Structure 1
Amino acid sequence: MSENPSDLPALPERLPALAVLGITSPDQDDWARLRGLQYARLSESNWLRLSSHSIAAAVVVWVYASTVGLTALGVWLVALMGTLYLCHKCDSQLAGAETRKLTRTEFRNRSISITLLSLAWCVPLTLFAQQGTISDLLVLWTAISVMIVGLVLVVAAAPLGTVIFTVLTGLSVVFSSLVFGEFKAAAIAGFFIVVVLFGTVASARTYLTARIAEAGMAEKGEVVSLLLREFEDNKADWLWQIDTNRRIRSVSPRFSFALGKEPDALEGQPFLQLIAGDAWESGSFPPSLHELADKLKRRESFSNLIVKVVIGGQNRWWELSGTPILDERQTYLGFRGVGSDVTEQRESSDKIAYLARYDTLTGLPNRLMLNEALSDAMDYAKKWRTRCAFLMLDLDRFKAVNDSLGHLVGDQMLAQVSKRLKQLMGENAMCGRLGGDEFGIVIRDASDKRKVEELARNVIASLSMPYDISNNTLYVGASVGSAIGPRDGKTVEEIMRNADLALYRAKDEGGGEHCQYEPTLHAHAEERRKLEFSLRRALERDEFELHYQPVVDANDETVVSFEALVRWNSPEHGYVRPDKFISLAEDTRLIVPIGEWVLATACAEAVNWPPHVRVAVNVSGEQLIEPNFATTVVQALSDSGLPANRLEVEVTESIFLRDANVVRSALEQVMALGCTVALDDFGTGYSSLGYLRKLSFSTIKVDRSFVQGAAQGSAESLAIIRAVVAMADSLEMSTTAEGVENAEEAEMVRGLGCKKIQGYYFGRPMPVDEVQQVFARKGEVRARIA
C-alpha cells in the first residue's frame, strides 16, 4: 500500500556525496525515503545491463579463447551469469520503492550483489590477462570502460553500485598494467577511476533532484484533487467568475442558488449590480461593497473579504475570495474565486459582540466599554494637557422599589433612567451602566469645572422626576460622585475608585447630592474601617449563615440543586447587604476565609439532602488565585462526605480579568475532582467567549436582565437568549435562566430552550431548615445514619 502523498520527502538543502552514494544518512532528512525514489526504476534498465555485460563477456571469449581455454572461460561465464541473475533479482524487488522507504537490508543486498558481479569481472582483468598480452588487456578494458560510462549515464539511480564496479575493475586493470610494466596505462586507468567517481556523484545528484521534483509534482496534483473534492462536497461554498466587464460567467448551480435565480438568467449579468440591490440606484453602497469594487478595479487578489449584499430584498453577508484570471501572455481575462454565505455566523457574532459591550436591559454601554472610553479620555487629557471627568451615580431608594413592587418594575425603571440619561448626553459625554442601579458618565473634555457640576445637577434633577410604571407613580432620587483626571488619579482604576468614594459621601449626606472627590473623605473611610473591623470578627463570632435558593428542571419543575447565598447579621451594623460586605471582603481578601467557610458549610448541610440534589457555591476570583484552592475543595468534600459530583462551583465572567491562567488552572483542578463549574451573570460586564471554548463549563446562567427584557417583549433580549442557548447546546453545556418571577416567564424561558430555571417564582432564598421542610413535604428527606 502506498503512503500518503503528504509523507513524501522535501528536497534537502544540500545533497552530500556520501549521502547520495548511500554510505551515510543525515538525521535531519528522510534518506530512507529518498533511497526509495533513487532505486525504484532500476528494474527498467535490466535489459540494457544484461546486453552490455553480454557484449563485454563476448569480448572476453574472443580475446582469451586461445590462451585461457574453453573450460576456464565456461566456469567464468557460469559465475558471471549467476551474479547477473542475483543483481536482476535484487533490482526487480525494488520496483515500486518510490512509494515506501528502502530498508537497509534491501540496500545491503544490492550492494553485495554488485560487489560479487564486480569480482567476477576482476577475474579476466587479472588472471586471464596474465596469460595474454597488454594489447588483449587494453581491448578488454576498453569494452568495460564503455560499459561503465553507460552505467554512469543510464543507471544513475544506483551510484554506489557504479562506484563499486568501477573501483574494483579499475584497480584490477591498474594491477595488471603494473605487472606488464605499463605504468602509463596504469596511470590512465587510475585517472579514469577518479573521473568516473566524480561523474557518478554528479549524475546521481541530478537524477535524485529530478525524482524528488517529480514526486513533488505528483503530490501537489493529489493535494489539489483532494481540495477540489472537499470543496465540491462542502455545500456551503460556491464558485464565481466574472469577465473584464464584471459580468457573471460560467454560473455554478450553488452560486445561482445563492443569488436566488436560475443559472441561465444570471449569465452575462453585472455582478456588483446583482448583489447591491436597491443601493445600485441610489449609489449609497455599504463600505464592504466599495472595498470589493476597488479590489476588482485594481485587479488585486483578495481573501476572506466579508461583503454585505442584498439578495431578494434581504440583507445577507458573503465571505468572498478571488484572484485575477490571466492567460499565458499575462492578459487580464476577469476574476474567479469562491464564496460562502456567512449571514448566520455574522448575526451570531454581532449578538455576542453586543452582549460583550452593551447592557441589554438599558441599551447603554456596559462597564467594559465605559472603561475603554475613560481610558481614551485619560490619554486625550494627557496628550493635550486638559482634564477629563468620570461621574458615578447611584439611584436613591431603588432597593425599596425592587422589594415592594418586584424586579420587573425595577427593570422598567432602569430602562426609563437610561433614556433620561441618554437625553442629557452631548458629543462630549457618554453614559453607561456599571451594574445594578449604578451608572457611569465619561466626560472627555472637563477643562471647565462648571460643566461637570452642571451635568451632575441636571442628572440629579432629571432622575428625580416621577416615573409612571405599571399604573404606579414612583419617585427615586440620584446621588453623584465625580473625580477629575488626571488630578484625582493617574489610571482608570484610580479615577473610578475615587468617584466611587465621592458617591459614598453623597449618599451618606442623604442622597440627591453631587460630591467631588477630595483626599479627605474621612467619613466614608471611617465607616468602611468599622465595617471591615466587624467583618474580620464575623467568622469568629458565627455571624454568617447560608440561605439556599432552589433551581428546578425546566421540564418537570423538580428541584435539581440549590444555590448557597451567604447572609450577615452584624450586632454593630445590623443586616448588611451582601453586595456591600462581599465587595468589601474581596477588597480586603477576607473573601478567602469567608469563602472557605461557605464551601465547608454548604457541603456539610447538602450531604443531608436527597442524593440527586446538588449544591452550588459562588466562588470569588480572589479564592481562585489562591494556590491551595483545590485543596480547600477536597477538604470540604472529605469532611462532609458529599460526593464531588453534587458540588457545583459558580464563577462570574470578571474572574478572567486577572491572572486568567491561574484561574483556569484552578477550575480545571476542580473539574478533575468530579465537580462541575457554572458561569454566572453571563454577559453583564465582561467578555469571556474564548474561555467557553477552553473550559468545560457545565452550565451558563442567563442573567435575569435578559429574562426580564424578554418578558417585556424585547427582541434583542429574545435574540440574545436564543444565541446563548444555541451556543451552550453546541458546546454541550446546560443553561439556567435566572430571575423568573411568574408562570409566564417560566413558560417563556422553557420555550427558548433553557434547561433549568431559578427565581422567586419557584422559591426565595431560605434557611437550611426550610430546605429540609421542602424535602419533607415531598417525602425526599433521607434518613440520617447514626
Structure 2
Amino acid sequence: MAGFFGRIRKQGDEAANGAEGPVAPAPIAASDLARRVELLDSLEETGVGWFWASDAEGRMIYCSPAAIAPFDISPTELAARTITQLFEEERKDEGKGEGTARPLKFLLAARGTLGPTPVRVKLGKGETWWEIAGKPRFAKDGSFAGYRGTARDITGTHEERRKAERASQYDSLTGLANRYRMSRQLEQTLKAYAHAKRSCALMMLDLDRFKQVNDTLGHPAGDELLKQVAGRIRRVLGDRVEIGRLGGDEFQAIIPDGDDRGELGDIAQQLIQMASQPYSINGSRAVIGVSIGIAVAPYDGIEPEELTKAADLALYAAKGGGRGQHRFYSRELRDQASFRHQIEQDLRDAIHGDQLRMHYQPIVDAKTHEVACMEALMRWEHPQRGMISPADFIPVAEEVGLIREMGTWALNDVCRTVSTWPGTVKAAVNVSAVQFAADDFVDVVRKALKSSGVDPGRIELEITESVFMGDVERSARVFAALKKLGVRLALDDFGTGYSSLSYLRDAPFDKIKIDQSFVRGCAGRDSNNLAIVAAVVSLAGALGMETVAEGVETKDELDAVTKQGASHIQGILFSRAMPGEEVLRRFEEGELHFTPRGPEKYRAERRTEFRRIGLIHGDHRYNVFLRNLSKTGAKIEGLLGIEVGTEVVLDLGGGQLAVAVVRRSEGSAQGLEFETPLISDGADGLCTRHRVSPYQIELAGKPLQALGDDPYAALMTMQNRAPKAFMEVQLN
C-alpha cells in the first residue's frame, strides 16, 4: 500500500537493515493535511468505515465511493438527495403508537450531534443497513456549514438483532405479541394516554372448549387451531389494535380510544361470532367458542396491573355466565368474585349435606295445555344464604369438577321422583358436556333406571350442542347406547351458536328445544324470530321430532309459536319451576292442565329492580328507588312534585349517568324515557355507553384515579343555591 502506511513500513525496514539506526516514525501533525487525508483514504479502502458529508441545506455532498458502489449511483445523483432522503431511520411498530417519532429529523433540525444510529439506505433497487454518526460543522463566522459523519455496514448484524428482538417479543406460534410485549405496550400506552387525556380499552379473551380439541385431536391440531383463531382476531380488530397471545388459549387486545361500551360490545360480539364458526383442521372439524372480559382506562384502572385485574374479573364473569359471552368490568364484580369463591368452598357441603333440591317446570302440549313433561332444574338451598341461583353455582361446579357428582345425584333423584307420577308424564334431565364425556355416563344412566324401576321411556336427557365438540365417533356410540336403554333424547338450546344440521342427521333425537332467544318477541312486527321458529319446526317435523318452544312469557308469543306448529310449550306463562312436593300434590289431585296466565303482548325487555339510585335535577341530587329498568326507560319512586316533561339525569352508579325525560308521573312514581338507550352489559344486565370520565374529575381538582363508588359526588364542587324543586318521600 502506497502513502502513509507504505512510508511507515519503509522506515521500519531501513531500521532493521541498520542503515541509519532505529528511527521513530514521525507523528502526524494537525497541520499535515496530506498525511491526514491519506490516512482517511486508507480507512475508506479497507471497508472498515466510510465517511459522508452534507452542506448547510442538508444535501449530500460526499459519501465514500466504496459505500455507494453497490447502488450504482453517481456523485451528481447523490448530491440531489438530502440526508433524510438517503438515511431512513428505523421505526418500531408503525401505527401502534410506540416509537413513531423520528429523532434523526429532530436532531438535524436542531443541528445536534448524531450518536450511532441504525438507518436504512435505499437507493434504486438496492437496500442495506448502516450505522451512522455525525457532528455539525460551523464556519468561522458561526454559520452552519453542514454535517460530517462516519458510517459502517451493519446489515448482517442488524437482521440478526431484529430476529432476536422479534423472538423475544412475539409468539412463535401465532406471530402475535407475547406476554412480555403486551405488558410493555400496555404500560407505555397508559402512560402516554393519561398525559393526552385519552382512553384505552383492554380485552381479555379466553377460548371455550379448547382443551377438548387438544384432548381429542391432539396438540398439533390445537396449535393449528390457535393459529387460525389468531388470524380471525386480526381480521376483526385490524392493524390499529395491538393483539397478543399471553400463553395457552389466552389472548389480549389493546384498543386505543375505546370508551364507547356500545362499540366495544359490538366488537366483542363480532369476535364471539367469528371465533365460534367451525374450523377445519387436517380433515377434522372443530368448534370452539370464546369468552371476553373488557375494562377501560382510565374508568376501570389507571395502572397496568389495575386495568388487567379489572379485565380478568370481567372475563371470569363472562365464563361464569355460561361462556360465549362478553362482560364489562364493574365494581360489583369484585363482590361477585368473593361470592363465587365462597360458593366454591360451600358447594361440597351442599352435595353431602342434603342442600340440593330438584324443582320442575311443566312442558305442556301446545293444543291441550296438558302437562306432557316436567323439566328438572336443580336448586341450592344454602343454610345461611337461602336459595342460590343455578347460574351462580353450576359454572363453579363445572370448573371445580363437581358437576359429574351433582349430575349423578340429580339423575337418580329424578328417576325416583318420576316413578311416583302419573304414567303419562315424563321428566327431562339436563346433561352437561362434562357428564356426557365421562366414560361411565351410560352406566350411571343404566343404574339410575334400574334402582328406581322407572320406565326408561319416561326419562328425557336434554343435551346441548356443546357435547359435539369432542370425539364425534364416541358421541355416536354413547347416543346408540342410550337409545338401547330406552331413554329419550332432546337437543337443548337449539340455534344458539354452534348448530349444525349434521347433529340432527346423525344423532337420534326425539325432540328439539327452540331456544328462548328466538321465542322472545317473535310476535313482533319487525322480528325475524318467527321465521326462525317456523324453520326449526318444519325441520323437526320432517325428521319426525317434537319441538318445544322455550321461554314463552306472553299470550301473543304463545299464539305465534302455536300457529307455526310447535308441539310443546314451556315458559312462565304457564308456570315457573315448582318444588317436587307441589308437583306431586297437583298430580295427586289430578291437576294436569295448566292455564296460561300473563301479559297479552311482549314488551321491550325490562329488569325488575329495587335499589337506591340518584336523580339529578338542577344543582341537587335526590335519592330515589329504581323499580324497573329497560333499554329505553325506567320506573322510579320516591319523589313528589315532578311534572311530565321534566328533564332529569339518573345516576345509575359507577359513573353511569342517563339523561331522561319524565313521561308519566303519578304521586311518588314516575316513568322515564332515556335520551340515549342503554346497552347490554353482555349478560342479563344493562349499562350506559359512556361514564363520567376520571379526567373530568381531575379537572375538578381531584387526583386522577379509577372511578370510585360515587364518581358524581366528586364533581359536585359547587354550592347549591336554588331551593329543591321536588320533595323526597320515605318508602318502606
- Per the TM superposition, whether the score is higher than 0.5 is no
Higher strand share: 2
Return the TM-score normalized by structure 1. 0.38
Larger radius of gyration: 1
